[in-house]
Chain A
Amino acid sequence: MPHAEFLTQFQAALMGGALPDGVRACTLRPPQSPETVTEYTLSPAQTDPRVIPCTAEEVTRRFDVYRNNVAHSLSRALAARFPVVERVVGAEFFAAMAPIFLKQSLPQSPLLLEWGKDFPAFLDGFPPLAALPWLGDVARLELARGAAYHAADMPCLPPEALMQAASDAGAARLVLHPSVTVLASRWAVVTAWAMNQPGATPAPLPGNKPEAALILRDRRDEVPVQEIGPGDLAFVAGLHRGETLLQAAAEGQAAEPGHEPAGILTTLARRGALVGLHMGER
């Protein structure tokens, strides 16, 4: 059997299919204790009469070690990316749900830190979680935090650059650090995320309170989650699109009458989230 075909069979067996051709196992009778090194005295040419082949049932139990290892390690890798989701639903529920997600979205790459982008949409459509419609957005927030944690390092702008930007807001285009994301939710996503941190006390969520989050990796390498209003949200989204300060500020005011960008700009600057400034056309 060509190796690729063997791998296809093995992989199908891991997902619950029949064992690949040729899988076998053997064991010592009587079984030896694994607490010591078993003494063997025979030369390699001789067969130890104590070694007997395993039955089909026993071989399947051996193969189950691989089935369990793969299922468990992928489930734990998923939980490691979405610890708050796991805390909300409980470890037992999460462990039961993970294989259902895995069936439809196995990782394509060994780079697991990029895996799981489909998980929020899966949560949105998972019937047993219909009572937690905000959980998908909590997962989106966790994805954004993961991306921010691993985002490229960039030196931040010196303070005088911000002064220069402010002096010609119609021409200044600020570049955000690659870790910066904003996330808008119909639900109280920041509140839900915060009350499910280790040590926090979960409480009923405010029903119809939309929240938006600013996520970035700050100068101390931490990834805080800050609730922002609709004006800040629109302003940062404008900067993301490469708009001038003036254009982005207009977006902020359109979303939230009377909005002033000074507060969010200060936050971004203080946290090291402004990394470039272009004056003039893009």
Chain B
Amino acid sequence: MPLPAAPGIGFKPEHFAAIRAMRPDLGFIEVHAENYMGAGGPPHRMLESLRADFPLSIHGVGLSIGGASLDKAHLARLKVLMDRYQPDSFSEHLAWSSHGIFLNDLLPLPYTPETLRLVCDHVDQVQEALGRRMLLENPSTYVLFAQSVIPEVEFLNEISQITGCGLLLDVNNVFVSCHNHATDPRRYLADFNMKNVGEIHLGGHDAEELPEGTILIDAHGSPVADPVWTLYAEVIARCGALPTLIEWDNDVPEFQTLMAEAERARAVLNAPQRVPEPAHATC
């Protein structure tokens, strides 16, 4: 079952009591896979409860799909989690985080024919091991590589076409990366293969002032920024409603503050007005 085309939130244990008490109107709840890989205990109790009440998205942050090879032990742990909770969606990132050691960050890779083959091979392995289609998320990046010969959107679209995986469109990541690399976020979004998008992410970013200008950093510790809402509304107006997650992982706010962001997404989802499509748009 795909996720419903409604707002969802990233789950924080601090909010568990509020969710139980309020039974909020949410399309789905998303959790980070790695937080539920212990043998037992309260995390599983919470996830069982959430699973019973909401559609569930499991979002991995440690598989390192853009690395040199896949960690088979980690893939096996993911398989156990998938089998136990049968989520409605599984997603991971176009990034790497392990190379002998685990760096706990989503790191960038050059986009080349070699890395395209490698990432496709890894996505194939994941989809085969889990017995399901996964979604792959576009990253926030702060540097570029001279080695890259394939634009990021094309790289993602190719992976999706070759492996059959879906895409997770993080509109904040698009805005952050495009700002940092002085490229057009509207063109990025117009070129993105929206037909394969199974979920949208919205989150907050930080701005750091450097002598040469502002750099944006994906931080998930604040409300979604206005220009990101603008781009999101344009995508929804063009392509129709899509499952939309509010991510707020650091400086976690009161549950009501998080829900206010989800309500803002709902308002956008409920008012899709198709505007004339650019000729090259993919939906």
Asked if A24 contacts B146 (CB within 8 A), the reply is yes
**Which listed residue (B42, B115, B182) contacts A3, Cβ 8 A?**
B115
Q: Residue on B with the closest CB to A41?
A: B184
Asked if A70 contacts B227 (CB within 8 A), the reply is no
Asked if A108 contacts B39 (CB within 8 A), the reply is no
**Which listed residue (A25, A66, A152, A221) contacts B105, Cβ 8 A?**
A66
Min C-beta distance of B106 to chain A, whole Å: 9
Interface-centre pick from A50, A111, A151 (highest chain B CB count, 10 A): A111
- Once the chains are docked, how many angstroms separate the CA of A70 from the CA of B101? 12
Of the listed stretches A5-13, A119-127, A227-235, A252-260, chain B binds A5-13
Q: Considering the complex, which residues of chain A in the window 7-26 have a beta carbon less than 8 Å from any beta carbon of chain B?
A: 7-8, 10-11, 14, 21-26
In this assembly, does A35 line the interface, its C-beta being within 8 Å of a C-beta of chain B?
yes
Asked if A150 contacts B184 (CB within 8 A), the reply is no
Asked if A7 contacts B68 (CB within 8 A), the reply is yes
**Which listed residue (B97, B110, B181, B227) contacts A25, Cβ 8 A?**
B181
Interface-centre pick from B34, B147, B216, B230 (highest chain A CB count, 10 A): B147
Q: Residue on B with the closest CB to A8?
A: B99
Min C-beta distance of B267 to chain A, whole Å: 19
Residues of A within 8 A of B181 (CB): 25-26
21 A-B contacts, Cβ less than 8 Å apart?
A6-B110, A21-B147, A23-B146, A24-B143, A24-B144, A26-B181, A27-B182, A27-B212, A37-B227, A38-B185, A51-B182, A63-B143, A70-B105, A106-B103, A108-B100, A109-B102, A111-B37, A113-B37, A151-B40, A153-B44, A178-B40
Q: Residue on B with the closest CB to A77?
A: B104
Decide if the interface of chain B is mainly helix, strand, loop or mixed: mixed
Residues of B within 8 A of A153 (CB): 39-41, 44
- Once the chains are docked, how many angstroms separate the CA of A42 from the CA of B187? 10
Of the listed stretches A54-62, A89-97, A199-207, chain B binds A54-62
Asked if A24 contacts B37 (CB within 8 A), the reply is no
Q: A22-B110, A37-B185 are in contact. Are A110 and B142 (CB under 8 A)?
A: no
Asked if A63 contacts B142 (CB within 8 A), the reply is yes
Q: A22-B145, A109-B102 are in contact. Are A50 and B74 (CB under 8 A)?
A: no
- A-contact 0/1 string along B162-184, CB 8 Å cutoff: 00000000000001001111111
Q: Which 8 residue pairs across A and B have the least CB separation, nearest first? A: A110-B62, A150-B38, A31-B213, A40-B184, A153-B40, A22-B146, A152-B39, A4-B68
Q: A25-B144, A34-B214 are in contact. Are A151 and B39 (CB under 8 A)?
A: yes
Asked if B105 contacts A108 (CB within 8 A), the reply is no
**Which listed residue (B67, B175, B231) contacts A7, Cβ 8 A?**
B67
Min C-beta distance of A10 to chain B, whole Å: 7
Residues of B within 8 A of A54 (CB): 212
Asked if A14 contacts B143 (CB within 8 A), the reply is no
In this assembly, does B283 line the interface, its C-beta being within 8 Å of a C-beta of chain A?
no
- Once the chains are docked, how many angstroms separate the CA of A24 from the CA of B44? 43
Min C-beta distance of A232 to chain B, whole Å: 24
Asked if A7 contacts B142 (CB within 8 A), the reply is no
Residues of B within 8 A of A107 (CB): 101-102, 104
Q: Residue on B with the closest CB to A33?
A: B214
Asked if B41 contacts A221 (CB within 8 A), the reply is yes
Residues of A within 8 A of B187 (CB): 40, 44
Min C-beta distance of B250 to chain A, whole Å: 9
In this assembly, does B96 line the interface, its C-beta being within 8 Å of a C-beta of chain A?
yes
In this assembly, does A69 line the interface, its C-beta being within 8 Å of a C-beta of chain B?
yes
Min C-beta distance of B177 to chain A, whole Å: 11
Residues of B within 8 A of A150 (CB): 38-41, 43
Asked if B101 contacts A11 (CB within 8 A), the reply is yes
**Which listed residue (B64, B100, B114, B142) contacts A65, Cβ 8 A?**
B142
Asked if B45 contacts A221 (CB within 8 A), the reply is yes
* Chain A: interface size category: 35 or more
Min C-beta distance of B191 to chain A, whole Å: 8
Q: A27-B213, A153-B41, A178-B39 are in contact. Are A38 and B184 (CB under 8 A)?
A: yes
Q: Considering the complex, which residues of chain B in the window 144-159 have a beta carbon less than 8 Å from any beta carbon of chain A?
A: 144-147
Q: Residue on B with the closest CB to A43?
A: B187
**Which listed residue (B97, B103, B143, B226) contacts A59, Cβ 8 A?**
B143
- A-contact 0/1 string along B81-100, CB 8 Å cutoff: 00000000000000011111
In this assembly, does B21 line the interface, its C-beta being within 8 Å of a C-beta of chain A?
no
Q: A27-B212, A150-B38, A221-B42 are in contact. Are A40 and B186 (CB under 8 A)?
A: yes
In this assembly, does A36 line the interface, its C-beta being within 8 Å of a C-beta of chain B?
yes
Q: Residue on A with the closest CB to B34?
A: A110
- Once the chains are docked, how many angstroms separate the CA of A154 from the CA of B144? 50
Asked if B38 contacts A37 (CB within 8 A), the reply is no
Asked if A111 contacts B99 (CB within 8 A), the reply is no
Asked if A2 contacts B114 (CB within 8 A), the reply is yes
- Once the chains are docked, how many angstroms separate the CA of A98 from the CA of B231? 39
Asked if A23 contacts B143 (CB within 8 A), the reply is yes
- Once the chains are docked, how many angstroms separate the CA of A24 from the CA of B180? 12
Q: Considering the complex, which residues of chain A in the window 117-166 have a beta carbon less than 8 Å from any beta carbon of chain B?
A: 149-154
- Once the chains are docked, how many angstroms separate the CA of A69 from the CA of B208? 13
In this assembly, does B22 line the interface, its C-beta being within 8 Å of a C-beta of chain A?
no
- Once the chains are docked, how many angstroms separate the CA of A4 from the CA of B109? 11
Q: A1-B147, A107-B101 are in contact. Are A66 and B184 (CB under 8 A)?
A: no
